[in-house]
Amino acid sequence: MRTKMSFSLLVLIVLAMMVAGCGAQQAAPTAKVEAIPVEEPTAKVEATTATEPTAEAEATTVEEPAAAEGGGWTMYSPDMLGGGTVLEDARPAGPLPEGCAVPEVKDKYLIGMSQANRAEPWREAMDSQIEAAAQEYPNFEVIFQDAAQDNADQVSDVENLLTQGIDLLIISPNEAAPLNEIVKEAWDSCVPVIVLDRNLVDPNYSMFIGADNVAIGQAAGQYAAKWCAENGREPCEIAEIRGLEGAPPAKDRGDGFRTGLQDEGLDPEQAIIFSQNADWLRERAVPAAAAAFQAFPDVDVLYGHNDPMAEGAYIAASDAGVNVADILFIGIDALPTPDGGIMSVLEGRLGVTFVYPTGGRQAIEWANLILTQHVNPPLWVVLPFDTVSPDKAQEVCNTFNCPGAQ
Ligand code: FRU
């Protein structure tokens, strides 16, 4: 008690000196602040309560935990965003429907991960990132389900996970409309839901994490238009191989691309001479692009909504005897794998691609915050993307440690 009292007295003196000297001189206070033992925050608060309300308020504000929300949720703080930005803020009442309690504190948490189609390399990377991130949380067990690009299968995957009693659902939906209802059911049953990469029709979930596909498409469109101008391609003929129509990124990447062309003075109506869906798949992109090169042998730019489809188009062009060196092939994903987009730019097949983060690691980090710390997350977190043009490809490869890293 005596130590506490004398400590309190010291704190009072120091605080009084700090308040008095505030704004006047800066030299002395630094040493004195450092002299306050950080281990004794309780004593500090007690010491100032009665006598120095002003100093107390100033001294304790920073030590308060983030404001507690209704229903036991604590508002997220910016340092939790891990490089992402907030597009839609947290719901004031928390990330679960009204009437749901905060998640129960447990020794073990079961997380269900419903993947749209693990056969696609980018999705395999997402699952691996989730798995690796979850290993850092010994109290997490993740059950993976793969719908193999079948909406009905993905609905039953989620039902199955709910039957197994998952504490939280992560889902990257194949298409928005067919998965909308089952996600709502999960969320309505008080299971927190984190949606990755492809959004749903309605935000009946705890949070959405993904990169801005309109912005990526726009960057691709600007790049294409500039390339045509710099290479004297007038008119500039563009063929587009689109992703699965019911998946929002396909629409966003298509719309953004058209805006990007317009930004650089190209009329998309005229420039885009061919547009076909290949469901995100390389094997479907080969015949689709073959049809494009047959009908329009002078294609200048081939825009694939993802790298596998752009690579499929490259194969089709080679098979058709088209001079591939004459065409700008654009993709999206930029995986740092041997056959991923970064290596493809380094090897000269793709002319440009864009790093599209999977959000796998972020999903696990937010799952931890939601389940174990009852953090109320933003409703929509946007992850950054990056352009992988030939002049930047080596640097990006080095950053992500791709096989060609130096
Ligand atoms: C894989 C994939 C990625 C793409 C993303 C869009 O299914 O097509 O290649 O970037 O999904 O949702």
Each residue's pLDDT tens digit, 35-79: 222 222 222 222 333 333 333 333 333 333 444 456 799 999 999
More confident residue, 31 or 170: 170
- Residue 295 CA to ligand 1 center (angstroms) comes to 27
AA letter at 94: G
- Calpha distance 225→264 (Å, rounded): 6
Q: Please name the residues in contact with 5: beta carbons below 8 A apart, sequence gap of 6 or more.
A: none
For the ranges 25-29, 32-36, 45-49, 117-121, the one whose mean pLDDT is highest: 117-121
Residue 366 structure tokens:
């937010």
Residue 274 predicted with pLDDT over 70: yes
| pLDDT tens digit sequence for 160-197 | 999 999 999 999 999 999 999 999 999 999 999 999 99
In the numeric block, the tokens 């309690």 are attached to: 101
96: its two tokens: 């679960």
pLDDT at residue 14 greater than cutoff 50 = no
* C-alpha 122 – ligand 1 centre gap (Å): 6
Helices (H), 238-281: 248-263, 268-271
Measured distance CA(280)–CA(121) in Å, rounded: 11
The rounded distance, in Å, linking the Cα atoms of 212 and 104 is: 33
pLDDT digits (tens, 9 = 90+) for 295-323: 999 999 999 999 999 999 999 999 999 99
- Please give the distance, rounded to the nearest whole angstrom, from the Cα atom of residue 280 to the centre of ligand 1: 6
Give percent of the chain above pLDDT 70.
83
Question: Per CATH, which fold does 72-210+359-384 belong to?
Answer: Rossmann fold (3.40.50)
Residues 174 and 177: their CA atoms lie apart, in Å, by 9
Please give the distance of CA 135 from its chain centroid, rounded to a whole number: 20
The alpha carbon of residue 218 and the mean position of all alpha carbons in its chain are separated, in whole angstroms, by 18
Q: How far apart are the first and last CA of the chain?
A: 61
Q: Distance, CA 111 to ligand 1 centroid (Å)?
A: 22
Q: Which atom of ligand 1 is nearest to the CA of 198?
A: 12
Average pLDDT over residues 4-22: 36
* Pair 361, 368: CB distance under 8 Å: no
Bridge pairing between strands 85-88 and 380-383: antiparallel
Residue pair 56/45 in contact (Cβ under 8 Å)? The answer is yes
Write the DSSP assignment of 155-180 as a string of letters. HHHHHHHHHTT-SEEEE--SSHHHHH
How does DSSP classify residue 106? -
With the most atoms of ligand 1 within 8 angstroms of its CB, the residue from 195, 280, 350 to mutate is: 280
More confident position, 54 or 373: 373
pLDDT score of 371 more than 80? yes
- Which residue ranges does the chain devote to CATH 3.40.50.2300? 72-210+359-384, 213-358+388-400
Give the pairing type, strands 193-196 and 207-211. parallel
- Answer yes or no: is pLDDT of 347 > 80: yes
Tell me how many degrees the CA angle 189-193-195 measures, rounded to the nearest 5: 145
Asked: is 213-358+388-400 a CATH 3.40.50.2300 domain? The reply is yes
Mutation pick for ligand 1 pocket among 120, 150, 175, 209 (CB with most ligand atoms within 8 Å)? 120
* β-pair type (353-355, 109-115): unpaired
Helix (H) or strand (E) holding 328: strand 328-330
Per-residue model confidence (pLDDT) at position 302 = 98
The residue nearest atom 6 of ligand 1, judged by CA position, is: 249
Q: Which of the listed residues 118, 306, 350, 358 should we mutate to test ligand 1's pocket, taking the one with most ligand atoms within 8 A of CB?
A: 306
Give the binding-site residues of ligand 1, using a 6 Å CB cut-off. 117, 120, 122-123, 197-198, 243, 247, 249, 280, 306, 332-333, 356
Q: What is the atom index within ligand 1 of the atom nearest the CA of 197? A: 12
- d(CA 267, ligand 1 centre) in Å: 27
